[in-house]
Amino acid sequence: QMQLVQSGAEVKKPGASVKLSCTASGYPFTNYYIHWVRQAPGQGLEWMGIINPRASTTTYAPEFLDRVTMTRDTSTRTVYMELGSLRLEDTAVYFCVRDPDGFDIWGQGTMVTVSS
């Protein structure tokens, strides 16, 4: 069964960093790009960036360029997304998603709450 399993919910203070994980199973890990998408409460979907698990190359959305880092560990089939300098408006559900032709497999989402 192909799936992406994400780490659990996080609560952080403004200015802190958070590192989320996304572990793939059921398919060749290095064959498909992984994206990160977030969704603030009651809002739409926002694309954050992409990582190529084979080459470890990344591209980030301009609005996150200076505070996001995506990495991967092929030995554990895991992708990580670290977001720094957290603000209240970073409160959202963060999804990792596989991309062959369209975002076909989504993680269950990780709720990140930023609160003072």
Q: Which residues of the shown chain bind another protein in the complex (CB under 8 A)?
A: 35, 37, 44-47, 50, 59, 61-62, 95, 97, 101-104, 106-109
Taking the least distance from each CB to another protein, the nearer of 15 and 25 is: 25
Report, in Å, the least distance between residue 112 CB and another protein. 15
Taking the least distance from each CB to another protein, the nearer of 84 and 109 is: 109
Taking the least distance from each CB to another protein, the nearer of 8 and 62 is: 62
Query: Closest by alpha carbon to 77, among 27, 41, 35?
Result: 27
Report, in Å, the least distance between residue 20 CB and another protein. 15
Report, in Å, the least distance between residue 68 CB and another protein. 12
Taking the least distance from each CB to another protein, the nearer of 13 and 55 is: 55
- What string of H, E and C letters represents the secondary structure of the chain? CCEEEECCCEEECCCCCEEEEEEEECCCHHHCEEEEEEECCCCCCEEEEEECCCCCCEEECHHHCCCEEEEEECCCCEEEEEECCCCHHHCEEEEEEEECCCCCEECCCEEEEECC
Report, in Å, the least distance between residue 71 CB and another protein. 18
